[in-house]
Amino acid sequence: MTNALTTNPSVLKWIEEKIELTQPDRVMWIDGSHEQLEELRAEGCSTGELFKLNEEKLPGCYLHLSAVNDVARVEGRTFICSEKEEDAGPTNHWMAPDEAYSMLYDIARGAYKGRTMYIIPYSMGPVGSPFAKYGIELTDSIYVVISMAIMTRMGKEVYEALGNSDDWVRGLHCKCDIDEEKRYICHFPQDNTIISVNSGYGGNVLLGKKCFALRIASNLGRQEGWMAEHMLILGVEKPNGEITYIAAAFPSACGKTNLAMLIPPELYREKGYKVWCVGDDIAWMRIGEDGRLWACNPENGFFGVAPGTSMKSNPNALISTQKNAIFTNVVHNLDDNTVWWESMDKNPPKNAKNWKGEIWDCTDGSKGAHPNSRFTAPAQNCPCLSSEFNSPAGVPISAIVFGGRRAKTAPLVYQSRDWNHGVFVGSIVASETTAAATGAVGVVRRDPMAMLPFCGYHMGDYWKHWINMGKKLGDKAPKIFNVNWFRTDDEGHFVWPGFGDNLRVLEWIINRCEGKVSANETAIGYVPNADDINIDGLEDFDRATLESILEVDKALWAEEAAGIEEFYGKFGEKLPAELKAELDILKANLK
Ligand code: GTP
Ligand code: SPV
Ligand code: MN
């Protein structure tokens, strides 16, 4: 092949096959160089796929608008194409691999005619790290190339690290006509292959992210004895310099990016507390030589929710977007060629286009930015990026935190009694749906470990894998907690201030890990004594308010237990006995 950047036979063979299938006019080997990316950005601007933003105010930044029918992940069109249907389990859509390949190849046949095939070599994790995994994505989208350049370690050094190995993940993406009816995101765990057609939206097409780093990697983790999780990773530094690392799994658009970059409340800042971000969405976790659980972030950037991100709520995220970032489906301010979204500030631009590219009147009550509009920002831009960000093995985890959006039922925070109970707590995560996926918003659904859309195999086997990891970790296992920042009052307002003030809850979690505070043993686990959560300096928030969100309402939990039992019913024989036993304990505790 001309200009090939590798001689790896498995890579060349696969690419040749895909060239024959998709019939591109031109093939471009992406080498990751600045010059080549600049050339592509310029080309993207000339075709209208990208808009170059104000170079003074937002240097190196671009705006991209997706098709209006293509703004979020499509869970109903996402398939796990394992050999056996049973291996996909009751929470995934399944298609037989032969059938899926043949249907997808029919869609992809000739799909690159008149277009360019971009060949993207990328690494999940630092290139050359023993824990890194490599992938190649073929795409006909410049937006995908320049986004992958932010989200992953991308470039020709990946071929050097890969050598002649055939241990790499194959990814084929074809925009086709962005036809919703022919949109498919398919995973073939047995072949380490992902095929995505008829979409241009991030989570469907940046194949290193959810498709590889969670759906394929969760399969690899199960086989190889590690874990691929939908988790942020952060370090809390105490005034004495000691850093405690925490991994937390919340469903999509439920606060991972915000927690990962939180700025401590003034009171804590004055004392010397700091928070360091290791990752905001995905954690790969292994048992280290010391027997503890170590987590690294396989990504190299943030694909964050734009609306709600402000200098007040998450300055670190906002600052991360101020150079070399891509904005998708936000408002284009035509006066100064910058961007805006709801709750960025109180001054929506007067002369602007909305996310659909239409002239937008900010006073007409319509939203300017799509609720799932996003920014793609280099991790290196983040002011609180951890010094361990590039460390291959990552950081040792002291606590695992689950959470979701629950107006009622789940208290602000509680701790599991032990690892298996913690797995139970993770398995029963329920949350109101958000705009991150197409479909109704605000409906409570079970989202175990925030992995419902991302676990690439049978959820019952996945729970068993968690239980097995706990056995291996023994007394070195992280402690497991659950949080809920989203309890509402009778008027529907959030009771807990959230954001930076979530550090107050993390402090309790760390104190529990260190055995420094006692707790109330309740039917669902250990709940804080109100005295042990610091509410000093909070406005309009007193001890009674705190008590109201620490409350465990037995009647609501009895309903919850019934819901869990029904949910567990789907898993039949695959429900681990340990989790059934935990449910029985919960029911007994509620009597
Ligand atoms: P994905 O990228 O989809 O995985 O989302 P995420 O989990 O990283 O969520 P993110 O941090 O982007 O937050 C999503 C939404 O939740 C934003 O609108 C935030 O403003 C809001 N949010 C985050 N943290 C809090 C909090 O502590 N309290 C409240 N009330 N809202 C929050
Ligand atoms: C999520 O939906 O959890 C995201 C965005 O982080 S996406 O990449 O679309 O999955
Ligand atoms: Mn996510």
> Residue 78 Cα, ligand 2 centroid: separation in angstroms?
13
pLDDT given at position 1: 79
Check which CATH number belongs to the domain holding 113 and give it. Answer: 3.40.449.10
> From atom 23 of ligand 1, which residue's Cα is the shortest distance away?
255
Kindly state whether residues 365 and 407 are assigned to the same domain: no
- Distance (Å) of CA 164 to CA 29, 135, 138, 161, 391: 18, 13, 19, 9, 25
- Using CA atoms, how far apart are residues 255 and 138, in angstroms rounded to an integer? 31
Rounded distance between C-alpha atoms, residue 146 and residue 120, angstroms: 10
Tell me the CA end-to-end span of the chain in Å, nearest whole number: 70
Residue 445 and residue 583 in one domain: yes
> Which of 144, 281, 309 to mutate for ligand 2's pocket (most ligand atoms within 8 Å of CB)?
281
- 568 CA → ligand 2 middle, Å: 26
Answer yes or no: are the C-beta atoms of 267 and 286 closer than 8 Å.
no
The DSSP element (H or E) to which 219 belongs, if any, is helix 217-224
On whether both 280 and 218 belong to a single domain, the answer is no
Q: Is 488 in the pocket of ligand 1 (CB under 6 A)?
A: no
Identify whether 450 is part of a domain: yes
| Three-class SS state of 159 | helix
Among 204, 198, 202, 206, CA closest to 182: 198
- Judge if the beta carbon of residue 301 lies within 6 A of ligand 1: no
CA distance 93 to 100: 12
Instruction: Give me the pLDDT at residue 2, please.
Output: 80
Which of 381, 415, 430 lies at the terminal end of a domain, its last residue? 381
Distance 323 CA to ligand 3 centre (A): 22
Please tell me which residue in 61, 211, 254, 277 is annotated as part of the active site: 254
Whether 513 and 581 map to the same domain: the answer is yes
Gap from CA of 493 to ligand 1 centroid (Å): 16
Answer whether 220's CB lies under 8 Å from 191's CB. no
Where b means 16+ CB within 10 Å and e means fewer, 18-30 reads bbebbbbeebbbb
Same domain, 252 and 349: no
Q: Is residue 144 part of a domain?
A: yes
**Same-domain pairing of 327 and 261:** no
CATH number for the domain including 373? 2.170.8.10
Residue 62 lies in a domain: no
Ligand nearest to the CA of 210: 2
Domain for residue 68, yes or no?
A: no
**Does a structural domain hold residue 58?**
no
Alpha-carbon span 586 to 563, nearest angstrom: 12
Query: Within this chain, do residues 337 and 457 fall inside the same structural domain, yes or no?
Result: no
Low-confidence residues of the chain: pLDDT under 50: none
The ligand 1 atom nearest the CA atom of 313: 20
Domain boundary among 197, 225, 253: 225
Structurally, the chain folds into a number of domains equal to 3
Domain span at 397: 229-300+387-590
Determine if ligand 1 sits within 6 Å of the CB of residue 497: no
- φ, ψ dihedrals at 158, nearest 5°: -65, -40
- The identity of residue 567, as a single letter, is F
- Please give the distance, rounded to the nearest whole angstrom, from the Cα atom of residue 459 to the centre of ligand 2: 19
513 is catalytic: no
Boundary-marking domain end, from 166, 198, 225: 225
* Protein residue closest via CA to atom 1 of ligand 2: 252
Query: pLDDT per residue over 123-175, tens digit each?
Result: 999 999 999 999 999 999 999 999 999 999 999 999 999 999 999 999 999 99
How do 326-328 and 301-305 pair as beta strands? unpaired
Q: Could you say which ligand is closest to the alpha carbon of residue 404?
A: 1
Is residue 234 domain-resident? yes
Amino acid at 11: V
Q: Is 499 in the pocket of ligand 1 (CB under 6 A)?
A: yes
Cα 281 to ligand 3 centre (Å):
5
Q: Measured between alpha carbons, how far is 379 from 59 in angstroms, rounded to an integer?
A: 16
Q: Which atom of ligand 2 is nearest to the CA of 73?
A: 9
Q: Say whether both 454 and 542 belong to one domain.
A: yes
Regarding whether 13 and 127 lie in a shared domain, the answer is yes
- Nearest CA owner, ligand 2 atom 8: 203
**374 and 487 within one domain:** no
Could you tell me the CATH number of the domain that includes residue 472? 3.90.228.20
Closest residue CA from atom 29 of ligand 1: 498
Q: Which of 252, 257, 493, 494 to mutate to test the pocket of ligand 1 (most atoms within 8 A of CB)?
A: 257
Beta bridge partners of 246: 234, 399
Q: Would 55 be classed as within a structural domain?
A: no
The binding-site residues of ligand 2, defined as CB within 6 angstroms of any ligand atom, are 73, 202-203, 209-210, 252, 281, 303, 436
169 and 96 in a single domain? The answer is yes
The CA 185 to ligand 2 mean position distance, Å, reads 14
The reply to whether 332 and 278 lie within a common domain is no
Note whether residue 491 is domain-resident. Answer: yes
